[in-house]
Amino acid sequence: MTEMRALIQQSATSKTLTLTKTPRPTPAQDEHLIHVKACSPCAGELLWPANFPPPNQRTLIPCPDVAGMVISAPADSPFKPGDCVYARTNYIRPGNACDYATAPTDELARMPQGMSFVQAAAVPVSAQTAWQLLLVQTFGELDWEEAKQVWGGKRVLVTAASGGVGMWVVQLARLLGAEVIGTAGGNMGIVKELGAEVLDYRTTNLREWAGQEKVDVVVDCIGGKSLRDAWWTVKDEGVVVSIFQAPLMVKPEEFEGENVKDLFFVMQPVGQQLEEITKLIEEGACRGMVDSVWPLEQYEEAFRRLDTGHAKGKIAFDLELN
């Protein structure tokens, strides 16, 4: 049996990781076998197995994002052996911190031309979460032109706008015509570069700031105190949407805004959306960002960097380094 390297989380209740050898996965009839060239972890993901138990018993391999080369494909797949693909693969299967992974057609997208595997691995979960937030969740399912009508001219506050997801919300919301304000600290420069107004969360009181002009939509990418404070910035009839927790969990008791909609959602891997993102990247309209690149063997340092909560873009593993 052919073996591969795999990074494995000991149990749902332990964040301890071990790099070990396991058998290569065998793709199901509707799945591709992918030679993983790069993969990327998501902030907080070692807590997911405890907080969001996978629906089935599975090996706990981290890194939802993968970029790699197709080794074998189902007969009816648009992807052929040798194609470069990327994806946020489905949570029902192990993640991608391993040499070989499997994925069905509907999770995969063609990698942007000219992009390295490492750069590509930094995109899927962040970009698709932002896409779903703007074009599926907040105002229902919209195509790009409808979304421009809906988001055009809206004033949007994004917390942790310099983070993996935040920087994609900033970019896509701006492309859709929204006026975007983002919070950041040491990474304020990233938000400014992406064309948004930036607030330093270390020195800005959001309640006082919002006294000047409230926003139509709060997009929260960090939860906790940031989300609680952000409630003060939303207009009556506005929306507070978080990718971290249900906004009502931290709504200030004295908040008196009327008819404010609140929303939390968990993204789903949809390859077609990632294809749209591929096109935007190829047009030069959007980009991902890599904070640092690690060999799989340096997983402890890589996850320590991720856990600081202050990375400048995504942490990526290059499986060809060791």
Ligand X SMILES: NC(=O)c1ccc[n+]([C@@H]2O[C@H](COP(=O)([O-])OP(=O)(O)OC[C@H]3O[C@@H](n4cnc5c(N)ncnc54)[C@H](OP(=O)(O)O)[C@@H]3O)[C@@H](O)[C@H]2O)c1
Near ligand X by CB under 6 A, which window of 134-142, 181-189, 206-214, 253-261? 181-189
Cβ neighbors of 271 (< 8 A, separation 6 or more) are: 87, 105, 106, 107, 108, 109
Measured between alpha carbons, how far is 144 from 127 in angstroms, rounded to an integer? 15
Kindly tell me which of 84 and 243 has the beta carbon lying closer to ligand X. Answer: 243
Kindly tell me which of 48 and 151 has the beta carbon lying closer to ligand X. Answer: 48
Provide, rounded to whole angstroms, the least separation between the CB of residue 93 and ligand X: 17
Kindly tell me which of 153 and 309 has the beta carbon lying closer to ligand X. Answer: 309
Q: Which of 244, 294, 299, 303 binds ligand X (CB under 6 A)?
A: 244
* CA–CA distances in Å: residue 102 to residues 67, 71, 317: 12, 10, 18
Residue at token pair 């320590």: 304
Tell how strand 84-88 and strand 109-110 pair up: antiparallel
Kindly tell me which of 101 and 165 has the beta carbon lying closer to ligand X. Answer: 165
CB neighbours (10 Å) of residue 179? 17
Provide, rounded to whole angstroms, the least separation between the CB of residue 150 and ligand X: 21
| Interface characters, 200-239, with ligand X (x: CB under 6 A) | -x-------------------xx---x-------------
Cβ proximity of 7 and 295 under 8 Å: no
Query: What φ, ψ does residue 239 adopt, rounded to 5°?
Result: -135, 135
Q: Which of 98, 206, 243, 280 binds ligand X (CB under 6 A)?
A: 243
Q: Show contacts with ligand X in window 114-153 (CB under 6 A).
A: 125-126, 129
Residue at token pair 């470069």: 84
Give me the residues that bind ligand X (CB under 6 A), please. 42-44, 125-126, 129, 159-160, 162-166, 183-187, 201, 221-222, 226, 243-244, 266-267, 309-311
